[in-house]
Amino acid sequence: MTQYLYPQNLKATANLWLWSLKDFCILGIAALLSVVILVQLRIIVPAAVTLCYGFLTIRMDDTTVLDFIRYAVRYFISTQQEYHWR
C-alpha cells in the first residue's frame, strides 16, 4: 500500500521549517543581499532588518508573530470598541 504525504486536502500552505515557502524565499534573497551589502559596504542595517523579518514571520500553528501584532493593533488601535454600561 502506497501512502502519500500530502498537505490536508491539498489546501494547506507549503511550509519549510518554521516559515511559509514565500517567506523562506524572501528571507533567502534578503539574506544573500544583506551579506553582499555587509561585505562590500560594511553596512549592517540590511542584515538587522532581515533578521527582524525572519523572527516576525516564524509560523507556529498557522499564525505568525507579525499576524499577532496586526491583530493586536487592529483590536486596540484601529477598530471601534463598543462598551455598554449598565
Q: Model's pTM, two decimal places?
A: 0.73
The pLDDT, as a whole number, for residue 10 is 66
Total domains present in the chain: 1
Rounded CA gap, 23 and 60, in Å?
13
| 83 belongs to a structural domain | no
What averages of pLDDT result for each successive group of 10 residues across the chain (86 residues)? 63 79 94 97 97 93 89 89 80
| 63 belongs to a structural domain | yes
Rounded CA gap, 12 and 1, in Å?
24
The pLDDT, as a whole number, for residue 80 is 78
| 10 belongs to a structural domain | no
Domain residue limits at 56: 15-76
